[in-house]
Amino acid sequence: MKRACIALLLATAALSASAQETGPMNVFTDKGLFYQLPLDTVTVADERLFFRDGPRRFDHAATAIDSITFGDVDFQNAVLYIDTEDGRPVTSREEWKQAQFRMDGGTLFPDFQAEGRIRGRGNSTWSWYNYGGDPLIYGRRPYKIKFDQKQRVLQMNSDRTWVLLANWRDGSFMMNAFANEVGRYLGFTFTPHNRFCEVWLNGEYVGLYQLCEQIEVSGHRVDIGEGDVLICLDADDGPNLSPHATNNFWSMTYNLPVAVKYPKDEALTEAVKKEVRDDLGYLEYRINSHDLKSVRQQLDVRSLIDFLIVQELTCNVELDAPRSMYMYRTADRVWHFGPLWDFDAGFDFDWGDMYRGHKYFGSQKLLYGTNPLKPNYSSGTRFFLAMFASKDFTKAYKERWAEVKDALVDTVFTRLDNYRAQLKKAIRRNDERWPIYHQSNNWWWGQAERIDPDEEYRSLRQWVEKRIPVMDAAIRKYPE
Protein backbone atom coordinates (compact mmCIF):
# COMPACT_ATOMS: atom_id res chain seq x y z
CA MET A 1 0.00 0.00 0.00
CA LYS A 2 1.42 3.36 -1.07
CA ARG A 3 -0.95 5.74 0.74
CA ALA A 4 0.81 8.84 2.02
CA CYS A 5 -1.46 10.56 4.53
CA ILE A 6 -1.40 11.61 8.17
CA ALA A 7 -3.31 9.47 10.65
CA LEU A 8 -5.52 11.66 12.83
CA LEU A 9 -7.62 10.99 15.91
CA LEU A 10 -10.48 13.28 15.02
CA ALA A 11 -13.24 14.93 16.95
CA THR A 12 -15.49 17.82 15.95
CA ALA A 13 -13.02 20.43 17.17
CA ALA A 14 -10.23 18.92 15.13
CA LEU A 15 -12.32 19.20 11.98
CA SER A 16 -13.03 22.86 12.67
CA ALA A 17 -9.32 23.51 12.89
CA SER A 18 -8.84 21.80 9.54
CA ALA A 19 -11.57 23.77 7.82
CA GLN A 20 -9.02 26.34 6.62
CA GLU A 21 -7.57 23.70 4.30
CA THR A 22 -8.30 24.09 0.61
CA GLY A 23 -9.52 21.61 -1.93
CA PRO A 24 -11.70 18.57 -1.26
CA MET A 25 -11.57 16.59 1.96
CA ASN A 26 -10.29 13.05 1.38
CA VAL A 27 -11.56 10.65 4.02
CA PHE A 28 -9.97 7.21 4.32
CA THR A 29 -12.03 4.79 6.41
CA ASP A 30 -11.26 1.81 8.59
CA LYS A 31 -12.65 -0.45 5.82
CA GLY A 32 -10.04 0.58 3.29
CA LEU A 33 -12.52 2.83 1.49
CA PHE A 34 -12.33 6.43 0.40
CA TYR A 35 -14.65 9.43 0.16
CA GLN A 36 -13.86 12.77 -1.46
CA LEU A 37 -16.15 15.46 -0.10
CA PRO A 38 -16.54 19.27 -0.06
CA LEU A 39 -15.51 20.58 3.33
CA ASP A 40 -18.95 21.89 4.24
CA THR A 41 -20.88 18.63 3.80
CA VAL A 42 -19.79 16.51 6.75
CA THR A 43 -19.61 16.45 10.52
CA VAL A 44 -17.22 14.41 12.64
CA ALA A 45 -18.33 13.16 16.05
CA ASP A 46 -16.93 10.40 18.25
CA GLU A 47 -14.34 9.68 15.57
CA ARG A 48 -17.10 8.90 13.05
CA LEU A 49 -18.14 10.78 9.96
CA PHE A 50 -21.73 11.87 9.22
CA PHE A 51 -23.40 13.96 6.54
CA ARG A 52 -24.61 17.33 7.84
CA ASP A 53 -27.72 17.46 5.69
CA GLY A 54 -29.61 14.52 7.12
CA PRO A 55 -29.54 10.95 8.35
CA ARG A 56 -27.60 9.51 5.40
CA ARG A 57 -24.51 7.60 6.44
CA PHE A 58 -21.69 5.87 4.64
CA ASP A 59 -22.15 2.18 3.84
CA HIS A 60 -25.48 2.15 5.71
CA ALA A 61 -23.59 2.54 9.00
CA ALA A 62 -21.42 5.15 10.62
CA THR A 63 -17.92 4.72 9.27
CA ALA A 64 -14.83 4.92 11.44
CA ILE A 65 -12.17 7.33 10.18
CA ASP A 66 -8.68 6.05 9.54
CA SER A 67 -7.13 9.25 8.18
CA ILE A 68 -7.88 12.46 6.29
CA THR A 69 -6.02 14.51 3.70
CA PHE A 70 -6.94 17.61 1.71
CA GLY A 71 -6.58 18.41 -1.98
CA ASP A 72 -6.48 16.12 -4.99
CA VAL A 73 -5.32 12.52 -4.65
CA ASP A 74 -3.29 10.89 -7.42
CA PHE A 75 -4.87 7.45 -7.08
CA GLN A 76 -2.95 4.36 -8.01
CA ASN A 77 -5.48 1.62 -8.58
CA ALA A 78 -5.00 -1.89 -7.21
CA VAL A 79 -3.44 -4.26 -9.77
CA LEU A 80 -3.66 -8.05 -9.68
CA TYR A 81 -0.95 -9.99 -11.52
CA ILE A 82 -1.89 -13.59 -12.38
CA ASP A 83 0.56 -16.07 -13.87
CA THR A 84 -0.76 -19.52 -14.72
CA GLU A 85 1.56 -22.45 -14.17
CA ASP A 86 1.65 -23.39 -17.86
CA GLY A 87 1.69 -19.78 -19.07
CA ARG A 88 -1.41 -20.40 -21.19
CA PRO A 89 -4.73 -18.51 -21.24
CA VAL A 90 -7.71 -19.56 -19.12
CA THR A 91 -10.13 -21.14 -21.59
CA SER A 92 -12.41 -23.35 -19.48
CA ARG A 93 -15.16 -22.85 -16.91
CA GLU A 94 -14.73 -26.42 -15.67
CA GLU A 95 -10.97 -26.98 -15.43
CA TRP A 96 -8.90 -25.13 -12.86
CA LYS A 97 -5.41 -23.89 -13.65
CA GLN A 98 -2.71 -23.55 -11.01
CA ALA A 99 -1.51 -19.97 -10.76
CA GLN A 100 0.53 -17.45 -8.81
CA PHE A 101 -1.21 -14.27 -7.66
CA ARG A 102 0.36 -10.96 -6.68
CA MET A 103 -1.69 -7.94 -5.64
CA ASP A 104 -0.26 -4.43 -5.74
CA GLY A 105 -2.75 -2.65 -3.48
CA GLY A 106 -2.08 0.81 -4.90
CA THR A 107 -3.13 3.85 -2.90
CA LEU A 108 -5.67 2.22 -0.61
CA PHE A 109 -4.99 -1.46 0.01
CA PRO A 110 -2.29 -3.82 1.32
CA ASP A 111 -0.20 -5.84 -1.09
CA PHE A 112 -0.16 -9.64 -0.94
CA GLN A 113 1.07 -12.73 -2.76
CA ALA A 114 -0.69 -16.09 -2.86
CA GLU A 115 -0.87 -19.39 -4.66
CA GLY A 116 -4.10 -20.88 -5.94
CA ARG A 117 -6.19 -21.75 -8.97
CA ILE A 118 -8.20 -19.91 -11.60
CA ARG A 119 -10.93 -20.86 -14.08
CA GLY A 120 -13.59 -19.13 -16.14
CA ARG A 121 -17.09 -18.33 -14.87
CA GLY A 122 -20.33 -16.69 -16.02
CA ASN A 123 -22.80 -17.36 -18.79
CA SER A 124 -23.27 -14.76 -21.54
CA THR A 125 -20.03 -12.91 -20.76
CA TRP A 126 -18.18 -16.21 -21.15
CA SER A 127 -20.19 -17.82 -23.94
CA TRP A 128 -20.29 -14.77 -26.20
CA TYR A 129 -16.55 -14.20 -26.02
CA ASN A 130 -15.12 -12.98 -29.35
CA TYR A 131 -18.61 -13.13 -30.86
CA GLY A 132 -18.55 -13.26 -34.65
CA GLY A 133 -14.76 -13.26 -34.68
CA ASP A 134 -14.61 -9.69 -33.35
CA PRO A 135 -12.16 -9.49 -30.41
CA LEU A 136 -13.92 -6.37 -29.11
CA ILE A 137 -17.23 -8.22 -28.65
CA TYR A 138 -17.23 -9.64 -25.11
CA GLY A 139 -13.47 -9.72 -25.24
CA ARG A 140 -12.86 -9.44 -21.50
CA ARG A 141 -13.79 -12.68 -19.75
CA PRO A 142 -14.86 -13.21 -16.11
CA TYR A 143 -12.93 -15.52 -13.77
CA LYS A 144 -13.21 -17.38 -10.50
CA ILE A 145 -10.23 -17.59 -8.15
CA LYS A 146 -9.58 -20.08 -5.37
CA PHE A 147 -6.56 -19.49 -3.16
CA ASP A 148 -4.81 -22.38 -1.44
CA GLN A 149 -5.24 -20.58 1.89
CA LYS A 150 -7.78 -18.03 3.08
CA GLN A 151 -6.69 -14.57 2.00
CA ARG A 152 -7.81 -11.06 2.99
CA VAL A 153 -8.34 -9.29 -0.33
CA LEU A 154 -8.65 -5.49 -0.69
CA GLN A 155 -9.71 -5.25 2.97
CA MET A 156 -12.55 -7.76 2.58
CA ASN A 157 -12.83 -10.58 5.08
CA SER A 158 -10.50 -13.54 4.55
CA ASP A 159 -11.74 -16.36 2.34
CA ARG A 160 -10.45 -18.67 -0.36
CA THR A 161 -12.93 -18.08 -3.19
CA TRP A 162 -13.24 -14.81 -5.11
CA VAL A 163 -14.81 -13.58 -8.34
CA LEU A 164 -13.47 -11.27 -11.04
CA LEU A 165 -16.47 -9.69 -12.79
CA ALA A 166 -15.79 -8.37 -16.28
CA ASN A 167 -18.84 -6.03 -16.36
CA TRP A 168 -18.42 -6.22 -20.12
CA ARG A 169 -21.80 -4.84 -21.19
CA ASP A 170 -21.67 -1.94 -18.78
CA GLY A 171 -19.96 1.19 -20.10
CA SER A 172 -20.41 2.96 -16.75
CA PHE A 173 -18.79 0.02 -14.90
CA MET A 174 -21.10 0.79 -11.97
CA MET A 175 -24.36 -1.09 -12.53
CA ASN A 176 -23.57 -4.09 -10.32
CA ALA A 177 -21.94 -1.72 -7.84
CA PHE A 178 -25.13 0.36 -7.79
CA ALA A 179 -27.28 -2.67 -6.96
CA ASN A 180 -24.84 -3.74 -4.24
CA GLU A 181 -24.90 -0.31 -2.63
CA VAL A 182 -28.71 -0.24 -2.76
CA GLY A 183 -28.65 -3.61 -1.01
CA ARG A 184 -26.42 -2.18 1.71
CA TYR A 185 -28.66 0.89 2.01
CA LEU A 186 -31.73 -1.31 2.46
CA GLY A 187 -29.94 -3.50 5.00
CA PHE A 188 -29.64 -6.88 3.29
CA THR A 189 -27.86 -9.29 5.62
CA PHE A 190 -25.10 -9.90 3.08
CA THR A 191 -24.33 -7.97 -0.08
CA PRO A 192 -21.07 -8.39 -2.03
CA HIS A 193 -18.61 -5.56 -1.56
CA ASN A 194 -17.49 -3.34 -4.41
CA ARG A 195 -13.76 -3.51 -4.99
CA PHE A 196 -11.93 -3.01 -8.26
CA CYS A 197 -8.55 -3.95 -9.65
CA GLU A 198 -6.80 -3.98 -12.98
CA VAL A 199 -5.63 -7.42 -14.05
CA TRP A 200 -2.54 -8.66 -15.88
CA LEU A 201 -2.82 -12.29 -16.97
CA ASN A 202 0.42 -13.99 -18.05
CA GLY A 203 1.98 -10.62 -18.77
CA GLU A 204 -0.96 -9.28 -20.80
CA TYR A 205 -3.12 -6.39 -19.63
CA VAL A 206 -6.70 -7.70 -19.65
CA GLY A 207 -8.44 -4.69 -18.16
CA LEU A 208 -10.38 -3.44 -15.15
CA TYR A 209 -12.39 -5.92 -13.08
CA GLN A 210 -14.75 -5.82 -10.14
CA LEU A 211 -13.31 -8.14 -7.51
CA CYS A 212 -15.87 -9.41 -5.02
CA GLU A 213 -17.01 -12.30 -2.88
CA GLN A 214 -18.51 -15.47 -4.33
CA ILE A 215 -22.14 -16.00 -3.33
CA GLU A 216 -21.63 -18.99 -1.04
CA VAL A 217 -22.07 -20.18 2.51
CA SER A 218 -19.30 -18.78 4.71
CA GLY A 219 -19.05 -16.97 8.03
CA HIS A 220 -18.65 -13.55 6.40
CA ARG A 221 -20.90 -14.23 3.41
CA VAL A 222 -24.14 -16.17 3.58
CA ASP A 223 -23.73 -17.02 7.25
CA ILE A 224 -25.80 -20.16 7.68
CA GLY A 225 -24.90 -23.61 8.91
CA GLU A 226 -25.67 -27.31 8.84
CA GLY A 227 -29.28 -27.99 7.95
CA ASP A 228 -29.69 -24.59 6.33
CA VAL A 229 -30.13 -24.04 2.60
CA LEU A 230 -28.93 -21.68 -0.15
CA ILE A 231 -30.69 -21.87 -3.52
CA CYS A 232 -30.59 -19.93 -6.77
CA LEU A 233 -33.61 -19.53 -9.02
CA ASP A 234 -31.84 -19.58 -12.36
CA ALA A 235 -32.82 -20.83 -15.82
CA ASP A 236 -29.18 -21.47 -16.75
CA ASP A 237 -28.63 -23.73 -13.74
CA GLY A 238 -32.08 -25.33 -13.84
CA PRO A 239 -33.14 -28.70 -15.27
CA ASN A 240 -33.81 -27.41 -18.78
CA LEU A 241 -30.44 -25.78 -19.55
CA SER A 242 -28.37 -27.90 -17.15
CA PRO A 243 -30.00 -31.33 -17.57
CA HIS A 244 -26.96 -33.26 -16.34
CA ALA A 245 -26.58 -31.37 -13.08
CA THR A 246 -27.61 -33.28 -9.97
CA ASN A 247 -28.44 -30.28 -7.78
CA ASN A 248 -31.48 -28.87 -9.60
CA PHE A 249 -35.23 -29.35 -9.83
CA TRP A 250 -38.47 -27.65 -10.91
CA SER A 251 -40.43 -26.09 -8.07
CA MET A 252 -43.84 -27.56 -7.29
CA THR A 253 -46.31 -24.69 -7.77
CA TYR A 254 -44.69 -22.04 -9.96
CA ASN A 255 -42.43 -24.38 -11.95
CA LEU A 256 -39.31 -22.34 -11.14
CA PRO A 257 -35.83 -23.61 -12.11
CA VAL A 258 -34.06 -24.18 -8.79
CA ALA A 259 -30.38 -24.97 -8.20
CA VAL A 260 -29.32 -25.94 -4.67
CA LYS A 261 -26.02 -24.22 -3.83
CA TYR A 262 -25.85 -25.44 -0.24
CA PRO A 263 -25.67 -28.20 0.91
CA LYS A 264 -23.47 -29.37 -1.94
CA ASP A 265 -21.42 -32.29 -3.18
CA GLU A 266 -21.87 -35.45 -1.06
CA ALA A 267 -24.00 -33.60 1.50
CA LEU A 268 -26.69 -32.96 -1.12
CA THR A 269 -28.30 -36.39 -1.21
CA GLU A 270 -31.54 -37.12 -3.05
CA ALA A 271 -33.32 -37.15 0.30
CA VAL A 272 -31.95 -33.69 1.17
CA LYS A 273 -32.86 -32.33 -2.25
CA LYS A 274 -36.41 -33.69 -1.86
CA GLU A 275 -36.72 -32.04 1.55
CA VAL A 276 -35.63 -28.70 0.08
CA ARG A 277 -38.09 -29.06 -2.81
CA ASP A 278 -40.93 -29.98 -0.46
CA ASP A 279 -40.22 -27.11 1.93
CA LEU A 280 -39.92 -24.59 -0.89
CA GLY A 281 -43.12 -26.04 -2.31
CA TYR A 282 -44.90 -25.41 0.98
CA LEU A 283 -43.71 -21.78 0.85
CA GLU A 284 -45.03 -21.53 -2.72
CA TYR A 285 -48.37 -22.89 -1.49
CA ARG A 286 -48.52 -20.26 1.25
CA ILE A 287 -47.61 -17.48 -1.21
CA ASN A 288 -50.21 -18.71 -3.66
CA SER A 289 -52.79 -18.45 -0.86
CA HIS A 290 -51.92 -14.73 -0.44
CA ASP A 291 -52.29 -14.99 3.34
CA LEU A 292 -49.64 -12.66 4.79
CA LYS A 293 -49.97 -14.06 8.31
CA SER A 294 -49.36 -17.57 7.02
CA VAL A 295 -46.49 -16.49 4.75
CA ARG A 296 -44.73 -14.73 7.63
CA GLN A 297 -44.38 -18.10 9.38
CA GLN A 298 -42.07 -19.30 6.62
CA LEU A 299 -40.70 -16.16 4.93
CA ASP A 300 -38.88 -13.00 5.97
CA VAL A 301 -41.41 -10.72 4.26
CA ARG A 302 -39.22 -7.61 4.60
CA SER A 303 -36.54 -9.35 2.53
CA LEU A 304 -39.09 -10.00 -0.24
CA ILE A 305 -40.21 -6.36 -0.19
CA ASP A 306 -36.65 -5.03 -0.37
CA PHE A 307 -35.78 -7.59 -3.04
CA LEU A 308 -38.71 -6.44 -5.18
CA ILE A 309 -37.78 -2.77 -4.73
CA VAL A 310 -34.28 -3.46 -6.05
CA GLN A 311 -35.52 -5.45 -9.07
CA GLU A 312 -37.96 -2.72 -10.13
CA LEU A 313 -35.52 0.08 -9.38
CA THR A 314 -32.95 -1.48 -11.70
CA CYS A 315 -35.51 -2.71 -14.27
CA ASN A 316 -33.91 -6.13 -13.92
CA VAL A 317 -35.79 -8.22 -16.50
CA GLU A 318 -33.85 -11.31 -15.37
CA LEU A 319 -36.54 -11.60 -12.70
CA ASP A 320 -38.77 -13.00 -15.42
CA ALA A 321 -36.46 -15.84 -16.52
CA PRO A 322 -35.52 -16.04 -13.63
CA ARG A 323 -31.72 -15.77 -13.39
CA SER A 324 -29.42 -15.13 -10.42
CA MET A 325 -32.25 -14.84 -7.88
CA TYR A 326 -30.92 -16.17 -4.57
CA MET A 327 -32.80 -17.34 -1.49
CA TYR A 328 -31.61 -18.98 1.71
CA ARG A 329 -33.23 -20.77 4.64
CA THR A 330 -31.98 -20.27 8.18
CA ALA A 331 -32.05 -22.55 11.21
CA ASP A 332 -35.53 -21.33 12.21
CA ARG A 333 -36.71 -22.71 8.84
CA VAL A 334 -37.55 -19.24 7.57
CA TRP A 335 -36.69 -18.36 3.96
CA HIS A 336 -35.04 -15.06 3.02
CA PHE A 337 -34.52 -13.36 -0.34
CA GLY A 338 -30.96 -12.47 -1.27
CA PRO A 339 -28.10 -11.98 -1.68
CA LEU A 340 -28.38 -9.68 -4.69
CA TRP A 341 -26.40 -10.63 -7.79
CA ASP A 342 -25.96 -9.74 -11.47
CA PHE A 343 -27.68 -6.58 -12.68
CA ASP A 344 -26.03 -5.70 -15.99
CA ALA A 345 -29.11 -6.94 -17.86
CA GLY A 346 -31.20 -4.25 -16.16
CA PHE A 347 -31.41 -0.51 -16.64
CA ASP A 348 -33.50 -1.00 -19.80
CA PHE A 349 -30.80 -2.92 -21.63
CA ASP A 350 -31.57 -3.25 -25.35
CA TRP A 351 -31.78 -7.02 -25.82
CA GLY A 352 -32.28 -6.61 -29.57
CA ASP A 353 -28.76 -5.22 -29.65
CA MET A 354 -27.18 -7.59 -27.14
CA TYR A 355 -24.44 -9.17 -29.25
CA ARG A 356 -22.83 -6.14 -30.84
CA GLY A 357 -24.20 -3.12 -29.03
CA HIS A 358 -24.45 -2.06 -25.42
CA LYS A 359 -27.48 0.22 -25.19
CA TYR A 360 -29.08 1.09 -21.88
CA PHE A 361 -31.39 3.75 -20.43
CA GLY A 362 -33.76 3.90 -23.43
CA SER A 363 -36.96 4.19 -21.38
CA GLN A 364 -38.48 4.02 -17.93
CA LYS A 365 -40.53 0.89 -18.55
CA LEU A 366 -41.75 -0.81 -15.40
CA LEU A 367 -41.59 -4.52 -14.65
CA TYR A 368 -44.65 -4.45 -12.41
CA GLY A 369 -46.63 -1.65 -14.08
CA THR A 370 -49.25 0.01 -11.90
CA ASN A 371 -50.71 -3.34 -10.84
CA PRO A 372 -48.17 -6.04 -9.92
CA LEU A 373 -50.85 -8.69 -10.33
CA LYS A 374 -50.93 -7.77 -14.02
CA PRO A 375 -47.22 -7.08 -14.61
CA ASN A 376 -45.58 -6.15 -17.89
CA TYR A 377 -43.53 -9.34 -17.51
CA SER A 378 -45.70 -12.21 -16.40
CA SER A 379 -44.05 -15.63 -16.79
CA GLY A 380 -41.36 -15.91 -14.12
CA THR A 381 -42.59 -12.96 -12.05
CA ARG A 382 -45.79 -14.66 -10.84
CA PHE A 383 -44.05 -16.21 -7.84
CA PHE A 384 -42.32 -13.00 -6.81
CA LEU A 385 -45.39 -10.78 -7.20
CA ALA A 386 -48.18 -13.06 -6.00
CA MET A 387 -48.24 -11.49 -2.52
CA PHE A 388 -49.56 -8.23 -3.95
CA ALA A 389 -52.93 -10.00 -3.86
CA SER A 390 -52.71 -9.37 -0.11
CA LYS A 391 -53.82 -5.87 0.89
CA ASP A 392 -51.65 -6.07 3.99
CA PHE A 393 -48.56 -6.94 1.92
CA THR A 394 -49.25 -4.13 -0.56
CA LYS A 395 -49.64 -1.69 2.34
CA ALA A 396 -46.34 -2.85 3.84
CA TYR A 397 -44.61 -2.50 0.46
CA LYS A 398 -45.88 1.06 0.03
CA GLU A 399 -44.77 1.99 3.55
CA ARG A 400 -41.29 0.58 2.99
CA TRP A 401 -40.93 2.41 -0.32
CA ALA A 402 -41.98 5.70 1.31
CA GLU A 403 -39.37 5.09 4.03
CA VAL A 404 -36.39 4.51 1.73
CA LYS A 405 -36.98 6.45 -1.51
CA ASP A 406 -36.00 10.01 -0.58
CA ALA A 407 -32.40 9.44 0.52
CA LEU A 408 -31.61 6.56 -1.81
CA VAL A 409 -30.04 8.39 -4.75
CA ASP A 410 -27.80 10.71 -2.75
CA THR A 411 -26.69 7.98 -0.35
CA VAL A 412 -25.85 5.43 -3.05
CA PHE A 413 -24.25 7.83 -5.52
CA THR A 414 -22.07 9.37 -2.82
CA ARG A 415 -20.39 5.97 -2.67
CA LEU A 416 -20.37 5.45 -6.45
CA ASP A 417 -18.98 8.91 -7.16
CA ASN A 418 -16.01 8.08 -5.02
CA TYR A 419 -15.44 4.72 -6.66
CA ARG A 420 -15.31 6.63 -9.92
CA ALA A 421 -12.86 9.16 -8.46
CA GLN A 422 -10.55 6.29 -7.52
CA LEU A 423 -10.93 4.51 -10.84
CA LYS A 424 -10.69 7.46 -13.21
CA LYS A 425 -7.34 6.49 -14.75
CA ALA A 426 -8.06 2.76 -14.64
CA ILE A 427 -11.36 3.23 -16.48
CA ARG A 428 -9.56 5.14 -19.22
CA ARG A 429 -6.92 2.45 -19.56
CA ASN A 430 -9.62 -0.19 -19.72
CA ASP A 431 -11.49 1.82 -22.35
CA GLU A 432 -8.38 2.03 -24.49
CA ARG A 433 -7.95 -1.74 -24.30
CA TRP A 434 -11.64 -2.67 -24.61
CA PRO A 435 -13.72 0.11 -26.22
CA ILE A 436 -17.48 -0.46 -26.17
CA TYR A 437 -19.77 0.65 -28.95
CA HIS A 438 -23.44 1.44 -29.36
CA GLN A 439 -24.89 -0.15 -32.44
CA SER A 440 -25.97 2.52 -34.94
CA ASN A 441 -28.14 2.46 -38.04
CA ASN A 442 -24.92 2.43 -40.04
CA TRP A 443 -23.29 -0.42 -38.09
CA TRP A 444 -23.11 -2.78 -41.02
CA TRP A 445 -21.39 -0.05 -43.06
CA GLY A 446 -18.57 0.02 -40.56
CA GLN A 447 -19.73 2.93 -38.44
CA ALA A 448 -20.69 2.81 -34.78
CA GLU A 449 -20.85 5.17 -31.82
CA ARG A 450 -18.17 4.62 -29.21
CA ILE A 451 -19.36 4.82 -25.62
CA ASP A 452 -17.69 7.37 -23.37
CA PRO A 453 -17.44 5.84 -19.84
CA ASP A 454 -17.95 9.18 -18.08
CA GLU A 455 -21.01 10.01 -20.13
CA GLU A 456 -22.41 6.53 -19.54
CA TYR A 457 -22.02 6.98 -15.78
CA ARG A 458 -23.82 10.33 -15.96
CA SER A 459 -26.58 8.60 -17.91
CA LEU A 460 -26.82 5.94 -15.18
CA ARG A 461 -27.37 8.55 -12.49
CA GLN A 462 -29.82 10.56 -14.58
CA TRP A 463 -31.80 7.40 -15.35
CA VAL A 464 -32.00 6.43 -11.67
CA GLU A 465 -32.96 9.97 -10.64
CA LYS A 466 -35.84 9.91 -13.12
CA ARG A 467 -36.87 6.40 -12.09
CA ILE A 468 -37.60 7.29 -8.47
CA PRO A 469 -40.63 9.51 -9.30
CA VAL A 470 -41.76 7.10 -12.03
CA MET A 471 -41.79 4.25 -9.52
CA ASP A 472 -43.37 6.45 -6.88
CA ALA A 473 -46.28 7.35 -9.15
CA ALA A 474 -46.80 3.70 -10.09
CA ILE A 475 -46.58 2.40 -6.52
CA ARG A 476 -49.21 4.91 -5.37
CA LYS A 477 -51.58 3.28 -7.87
CA TYR A 478 -51.02 -0.28 -6.65
CA PRO A 479 -54.51 -1.51 -5.70
CA GLU A 480 -55.19 -2.21 -2.07
Give the Å distances, CA to CA, from 220 to 271, 329, 448.
Answer: 28, 16, 44
Domain for residue 24, yes or no? yes
Report pLDDT for 98. 98
37 pLDDT exceeds 90?
no
DSSP states along 90-149 = ---SSS-EEEEEEEE-TTTS--EEEEEEEEE--SHHHHTTTGGG-TTSS-S--EEEEEEE
462 pLDDT exceeds 60?
yes
Domain for residue 119, yes or no? yes
132 pLDDT exceeds 60?
no
Domain for residue 330, yes or no? no
pLDDT digits (tens, 9 = 90+) for 50-107: 555 544 444 434 456 666 677 777 788 999 999 999 999 999 999 999 999 999 999 8
Percent of the chain with pLDDT strictly greater than 70: 80
Report how far residue 343's alpha carbon sits from residue 107's, in angstroms, rounded to the nearest whole number: 28
Q: Mean per-residue pLDDT for 432-444?
A: 69
If asked whether residues 26 and 144 sit together in one domain, one would say no
288 pLDDT exceeds 60?
yes
If asked whether residues 60 and 90 sit together in one domain, one would say no
130 pLDDT exceeds 80?
no
Phi, psi of 287 (to 5 degrees): -60, -40
Report pLDDT for 5. 33
Domain for residue 227, yes or no? no
Report pLDDT for 1. 45
pLDDT digits (tens, 9 = 90+) for 329-370: 999 999 999 999 999 889 999 887 676 667 899 999 999 999
If asked whether residues 60 and 98 sit together in one domain, one would say no
Last residue of a domain, one of 70, 94, 115: 70
Domain that holds residue 98: 79-213
If asked whether residues 83 and 63 sit together in one domain, one would say no
If asked whether residues 140 and 183 sit together in one domain, one would say yes
Report pLDDT for 242. 95
Those residues whose C-beta lies under 8 Å from the C-beta of residue 160, and which sit 6 or more positions away, are 116, 146, 147, 148, 149, 150, 151
Domain for residue 64, yes or no? yes
- Contact (Cβ atoms closer than 8 angstroms) between residue 312 and residue 366: yes
Q: What's the pTM?
A: 0.88
Q: Determine which of 34-38, 218-222, 295-299, 468-472 has the lowest per-residue pLDDT on average.
A: 34-38
Report pLDDT for 460. 98
If asked whether residues 137 and 112 sit together in one domain, one would say yes
pLDDT digits (tens, 9 = 90+) for 150-182: 999 998 999 999 999 999 889 999 999 999 999
For residues 192, 193, 194 and 199, what is the CA-based torsion angle, rounded to 10 degrees? -80
Q: Dihedral sign, CA of 289, 294, 295, 298?
A: negative
Domain for residue 229, yes or no? no
If asked whether residues 51 and 92 sit together in one domain, one would say no
If asked whether residues 208 and 83 sit together in one domain, one would say yes
Q: Mean per-residue pLDDT for 38-61?
A: 52
If asked whether residues 156 and 205 sit together in one domain, one would say yes
Report pLDDT for 389. 96
Report pLDDT for 19. 43
Residues in the chain, overall count: 480
Those residues whose C-beta lies under 8 Å from the C-beta of residue 323, and which sit 6 or more positions away, are 123, 233, 234, 235, 236, 342, 345
- Cα 292 from chain centre: 29
How many domains does the chain fold into? 2
pLDDT digits (tens, 9 = 90+) for 311-329: 999 999 999 999 999 999 9
Last residue of a domain, one of 178, 213, 248: 213
Domain for residue 140, yes or no? yes
Report pLDDT for 75. 83
Return the SS3 of 350.
coil
If asked whether residues 195 and 149 sit together in one domain, one would say yes
If asked whether residues 88 and 183 sit together in one domain, one would say yes
Domain for residue 198, yes or no? yes
Last residue of a domain, one of 180, 213, 246: 213
Report pLDDT for 122. 77
If asked whether residues 23 and 135 sit together in one domain, one would say no
